Structure 1
Amino acid sequence: MSTTAVELKFPTREEFEALAKQEMEKMFDKVPYAREFNMGQAIDQEYYKRHLMETIIRIGLNNEVDSYSLYKIGYKDNLLAQKLAQYLAEEFGHDSLFLHDLKKFGVSEAELRATKPFFTTEMLIGYIYYSINQDGPIPTMVWNWFVEWYSDNYNKNITQKAGEVYGKEKTKGMQGHLDVDDDEDHVGLMFGTIVAAMKVEGDGEKAQQYLKNFINLIGMYFQELYDNTIGARA
C-alpha cells in the first residue's frame, strides 16, 4: 500500500507583500505623521534626525540578533545558515552610511553612541530574541525581509524628500544604502530565507503572524518617535 505525500502550501511573496501593505496602512491610520513621513509627503528635521539615529542604533542591535540566530541554526540547516551569513556579511558596516548623513545634521558619533535606544526598539529586539528561542529562525527571517521590503517601499520616498528639503549632500549615505540593497536584491534574498525556514504545516501562518506583530511594534516606534520630537514641541 503506497502513501501519497501531502504537499505543504506556504504563503507566496505576493501574499506576504499584500499583508505587509495592509498592516502598514492600519499603522498609518493610527500613528500621527507616520503616513506623511513614509510617503515622502512631509519631513521635519528633528523627527528625521532622530529617526536616523535610531536607525543606526537598530542596525547594530539587529546585526547582533542575526548573529544569535545564525548561532542557533548552527549546522542544522546549512542552506539557511549560508543565506543568513551572506546577508550579515553584506549588511555589516551599513551603519557608517547613515552616520555620514547624521553628521551633516550636526550629530557626532560620540553623541550617537551615548544615545539610549527608544524603549520600543528595546522591546523589538527583546521580542526577536524571545521568538528565536520559541520558534527558531522564522521570526529572524520575517523581520529581515520586512526591513528590506520596508526600505524598498518607503525609504526611497523619505530619502527623496530629505534630499529636496535638506540637499543631496545630506542624503548620500541613505542613497548609498538603497543602491546596495537594489544591487544585491536583499528583498529577494531574505524572502528566500523565509521560504527555507518554513518546514512544516503551520509555519506559514506563524510567519504571517510574526509579520503582523513586527509591523505593530514598528507602529509603536513611530509613535514614540513622534512623541519625542514633533509631539514634544507641541
Structure 2
Amino acid sequence: MTDDPRSWYGDPRAAAAARTADLGALRTQVDDLLDAMINKFYAEIPYADHQARGEELNLEYYKRHNIETILRLRRKRTIDALAINYFTKRDPVRGAAWAHYVEDEMLHDEWFAGDLGRIGVTKDEIYSTDPFQATKLLTGYLQYGMEFEGTPLALLCSVYFVEYTTTKTQPSWVKNLEEKLGREKVAGARRHVGTDIDDEHADFVWGVLTSLVSSTEDEAKVIQHMRIVANLWVAYFLELYQAVVAPAKNSFEAAGSLAGRFA
C-alpha cells in the first residue's frame, strides 16, 4: 500500500462502519463445517482422542504436543503483528481491537511452558526443539496470505478455527489431563481455555474476520481457508503421532497424504 491519501482509510470510525456486515448465514455454514470436522477428526485420526479420553496418558506425546503448541504460538505472534500493520492503514478501529487481542494472547506460551516445567521439561528443551513440518507449513500459509495476497483473511480464518475448536474440544482434554497429572500440573492449559471461553474470543475474532469479507468470492475464500487450515492441523496431529507413537521413516509424507484428503 502506497502513502497515497486516496488509498487510506479516511475517517477511522466511518471506515470501520463501512466494513461491518451481517454474515450470520456464513458463520452458521462455517460452524457446521467445523463441527463435522471435529467429529471426523476423532473418528479417523489415530490417537486423536488420547488427551481427551485416554485411560493411560502417553507422557511423551503430551510433552511433545505442548512443546509444539509453544513453538507455534511464538511464530504466530509475528504474523499477528503483520495483521496489525494491515489494519493501521485500512481500519484502525479494528487495528486497535486486534492489537488488544494480540496483547492478551502474546505470552500465553509461558502458561504452557509452566505446565511442562512442572513435569520436568526445561525451557532449553522447549526452545531448542525444531518445529514439525506441519507447523512450518501452517505458519508459511498464513504469512503467504499477508505477503502475497495482501490480506490477513487466512490468518483470521485460522484464528477463528482455533478459537472455535478450542471451546468445543479443550474443556474435556483439560479435565482428563487434570485427572491423570493433577490439577496443578495443567494450570496453564486450564487458564488458556478459560480465557478463550470467558472472553468470548470466537465471537470477537469472527467480528474482525467479517470486516474482510465483502463479496461472495470472499465468502468462498473463508470456506477454502477453513478447509486448508483443517488439513494442516490434521497433518500436525498425524506427524505428532508418527513421531512419538508410531515412528515412520518419512512421517510427514504419510501425514500429508492423509491430511490432504481430510477436508
TM-score, normalisation: structure 2: 0.80
Give, in angstroms, the shift of residue 88 of structure 1.
0.4
Q: Which residue matches 1:116?
A: 130
Point out where structure 2 has 5 or more consecutive residues left out of the alignment.
1-20, 249-263
CA contact (8 A) 2:38 2:165 kept: no
Give, in angstroms, the shift of residue 9 of structure 1.
7.4
Spell out, residue by residue over 1:61-106, the C-alpha distance to the aligned partner (whole angstroms, 9 max, x if none). Answer: 1111111122233321223322321210111111111111111121
Q: Which residue matches 1:24?
A: 38
2:209, 2:42 → 1: CA distance? Answer: 26
CA contact (8 A) 2:45 2:238 kept: yes
TM-score, normalisation: structure 1: 0.89
Q: Which residue matches 1:58?
A: 72
CA 1:83/1:37 → structure 2, altered by over 3 Å: closer, same or farther?
Answer: farther
1:106, 1:200 → 2: CA distance? Answer: 51
Spell out, residue by residue over 1:101-150, the C-alpha distance to the aligned partner (whole angstroms, 9 max, x if none). Answer: 11112110111111111111001000111122315121111111111112
2:92, 2:76 → 1: CA distance? Answer: 21
1:148-163 equivalences in 2 (<5 Å): 148-163=163-178
CA contact (8 A) 1:58 1:121 kept: yes
- Greater alpha carbon shift after TM alignment, 178-187 vs 91-100: 178-187
1:59-98 equivalences in 2 (<5 Å): 59-98=73-112
Paired letter, 2:191: G
Give, in angstroms, the shift of residue 217 of structure 1.
0.4
Paired letter, 1:41: R
Give, in angstroms, the shift of residue 158 of structure 1.
1.2
Q: Which residue matches 1:200?
A: 215
RMSD: 1.8
Q: Secondary structure at the match of 2:113?
A: helix
Give, in angstroms, the shift of residue 30 of structure 1.
3.5
1:73, 1:29 → 2: CA distance? Answer: 39
Give, in angstroms, the shift of residue 200 of structure 1.
2.4
Q: Which residue matches 1:223?
A: 238
Point out where structure 1 has 5 or more consecutive residues left out of the alignment.
1-7
1:159-178 equivalences in 2 (<5 Å): 159-178=174-193
Give, in angstroms, the shift of residue 28 of structure 1.
3.5
Q: Which residue matches 2:117?
A: 103
Q: Which residue matches 1:126?
A: 140
1:135, 1:25 → 2: CA distance? Answer: 33
Q: Higher relative contact order at CA 8 Å, sep ≥6: structure 1 or structure 2?
A: 1
1:180, 1:145 → 2: CA distance? Answer: 15
Q: Which residue matches 1:143?
A: 158
Q: Secondary structure at the match of 2:177?
A: helix
Give, in angstroms, the shift of residue 185 of structure 1.
1.3
CA contact (8 A) 2:108 2:192 kept: yes
Q: Secondary structure at the match of 1:13?
A: helix
Q: Secondary structure at the match of 1:197?
A: coil
Q: Which residue matches 1:211?
A: 226
CA contact (8 A) 2:178 2:185 kept: yes
Give, in angstroms, the shift of residue 175 of structure 1.
0.6
Identity of aligned residues (%): 27
- Greater alpha carbon shift after TM alignment, 69-78 vs 8-17: 8-17
- Greater alpha carbon shift after TM alignment, 132-141 vs 44-53: 132-141
- Greater alpha carbon shift after TM alignment, 72-81 vs 194-203: 72-81
Q: Which residue matches 1:47?
A: 61
Give, in angstroms, the shift of residue 13 of structure 1.
2.5
- Greater alpha carbon shift after TM alignment, 152-161 vs 218-227: 152-161
